[in-house]
Amino acid sequence: MTNHKKLIIILLGPPGAGKGTQAKLIEDRYNIPHISTGDILRDAILKNSALGKKANFYMQKGDLVPDNIIFDLIENRVDQPECKNGVLFDGFPRNVRQAKMLQNMDYIKDCENFFAILINIPDEEVIKRLSNRRYCPKCKSIYNLIHKIPKRKVNGVYLCDYCGTELIIRDDDKVETVKNRLKVYYDSAEPMIDFFRNLSVLHIIEDTVLQEDVFHEITKIIEEELIYEPSDRHKLSFASSERQKWS
Ligand SMILES: [Zn+2]
């Protein structure tokens, strides 16, 4: 693939930063597929492909899937025609080693529209957001005691609006687990963030930006710098045309 004008976005940020929400909005606005390592792994395992079998071997033991397998899966994925205009990565790369692999990938080489966007939120906010999450073990609905409050509460326990099941706090969202997830995140993310900073592709959404303004900030970052071919113009749906740069 020789399209150097494709749009590559990497979303970075701690758990609870709302990367999934932003990914959906970005995908819709720029018409690029959202590639998450979790989805790719599930898909490969479901299809029982050679790589899926290898990945499953580690996952069943509760181990992290080795970087080289993740990398091969990502390479296969970006080779598909729907990725020709670019992709949005979420959950990949997860460390410097993967970031270096990504940098050397043929798909990325010479790409001029490469953005690593870090959504920064303070630890207290991560803990507040995640520890206020409630989960329905039956229908899998997710609630939040701050902005998506379940309607019913019986004997101090919230019930699912849809199926009436008692809501639970997932182990992942318990305060102690969240603190540990944050530590794991910082250990691998900080060197990776420096790596992208040194490549001059890092953009930071500061933690002072309100949650509802994050997407607006992301579009500003992208559209101020985006370079693309005139013939590709119709493929991308921008609100502002005056900011476009031509190479
Ligand atoms: Zn339910």
Q: Over the stretch 55-79, which tens digit does the pLDDT of each residue have?
A: 999 988 888 889 999 999 999 999 9
> For residue 238, what are the CA distances in angstroms to 5, 34, 48?
15, 18, 39
For residue 125, report the distance from its CA to the centre of ligand 1, in Å.
26
* Cβ–Cβ under 8 Å, residues 203 and 117: yes
For residue 226, report the distance from its CA to the centre of ligand 1, in Å.
43
> For residue 199, what are the CA distances in angstroms to 89, 99, 227?
17, 11, 17
For residue 151, report the distance from its CA to the centre of ligand 1, in Å.
12
User: Stretch 19-48: mean pLDDT, rounded?
Assistant: 91
pLDDT tier for residue 201 given thresholds of 50, 70 and 90: very high
Q: Which of 65, 239, 207 is nearest to 129 (CA)?
A: 207
For residue 167, report the distance from its CA to the centre of ligand 1, in Å.
8
Q: Which of 236, 247, 244, 241 is nearest to 26 (CA)?
A: 236
Is 7-32+85-122+178-235 assigned to CATH 3.40.50.300? yes
Higher-pLDDT residue of 229 and 110 is 110
Positions of E strands within the chain: 7-12, 34-36, 86-90, 113-119, 133-135, 142-144, 152-154, 157-159, 202-205
Q: What is the rounded average pLDDT for all residues in the chain? A: 87
For residue 149, report the distance from its CA to the centre of ligand 1, in Å.
13
Known catalytic residues are 19, 94, 133, 170, 181
Take residue 235 and report the two structure tokens written for it: 């493929």
For residue 156, report the distance from its CA to the centre of ligand 1, in Å.
17
pTM of the model: 0.81
Please, which residues bridge with residue 117 across strands? 11, 203
Task: Inform me whether the pLDDT recorded for 232 exceeds 70.
Answer: no
- Give 153-207 as a DSSP string: EETTEEE-TTT-PBPB--GGGSHHHHHHHHHHHHHHHHHHHHHHHHTT-EEEE-T
For residue 92, report the distance from its CA to the centre of ligand 1, in Å.
31
In the chain, where are the structural domains located? 7-32+85-122+178-235
Over the stretch 119-155, which tens digit does the pLDDT of each residue have?
Answer: 999 999 999 989 999 999 999 999 999 889 999 999 9
